[in-house]
Copies of this chain bind each other. A is one copy, B any other.
Amino acid sequence: MAEVSASARPVTLPVIDPGPPERGDAARNRGRILEAARRLVAERGAEAVTTDDIAAAAGVGKGTLFRRFGSRAGLMIVLLDDDERAHQHALLFGPPPLGPGAPPLDRLLAYGRARLSFVDSHFALLSDVGRDPQTRFNAPNTLHHSHIRVLLEAADTTGDLDAQAAALLALLDADYVHHQTSERGRTLEDLGDAWEAVARKLCGT
């Protein structure tokens, strides 16, 4: 193997298959495409937004969009994933009562309302990305299940914590929430109140 002196080595060398380096305009295009997609999805619902619309709104060519995200589905997954990550960060590291520092029951109740709001505002994306029955019990649901379970335990909840976390999580399922708001005339506040009442009963308060 040929020896290369450290000083002569280009900075990208240690990275395995880095692909073309992301230049400033590539990063800008990526940001623009995500921002345009997020805005259009919010305005029209995911199902009514095409890659043509997104590319036009971002001021980039369609080829650029596909080079950055592979496909329409790929773009939608990145969009949802970005928001899901920010949401999870708020639960785990954000200010109380959602984040650490508040009593566990207060955190649990804050979580229920925050998650309801998230699944409501992201229903179009959640629905669009596609729901394999398998994914219902895997990430990111696993993280949410764990989060509820940890808070139930910290609140000294008795009994089978997995089942109780699953029951609470079911009331935050995107399909369930959408069905309740769109076909049953329930508001997010109704659903938040109902969730709080169930959580309080399970925690024994």
Q: Which residues of A contact B (CB under 8 A)?
A: 131, 133, 136-137, 158-160, 162-164, 166-171, 173, 175-176, 179, 184, 190-191, 193-195, 197-198, 201-202, 204
A198 in contact with B202 (CB, 8 Å): yes
Q: Which residues of chain B have C-beta atoms less than 8 A from A169's C-beta?
A: 170
Alpha-carbon distance A197/B204, docked complex (angstroms): 12
Q: Which residues of chain B have C-beta atoms less than 8 A from A179's C-beta?
A: 137
Contacts A133-B131, A137-B176, A175-B137; A201 near B166 (Cβ below 8 A): no
Q: Which of B136, B159, B160, B170 contacts A167 (CB 8 A)?
A: B170
A48: min CB distance to chain B, Å: 19
A105: min CB distance to chain B, Å: 14
Contacts A133-B175, A170-B170; A160 near B193 (Cβ below 8 A): yes
Q: Which of B131, B159, B194 contacts A197 (CB 8 A)?
A: B159
A141: min CB distance to chain B, Å: 11
24 contacting pairs across A/B (C-beta < 8 A): A131-B133, A133-B175, A137-B176, A137-B179, A158-B197, A159-B194, A159-B197, A159-B198, A160-B190, A160-B193, A160-B194, A160-B198, A163-B171, A163-B194, A164-B194, A167-B167, A167-B168, A167-B171, A170-B170, A170-B171, A170-B173, A198-B202, A201-B204, A202-B202
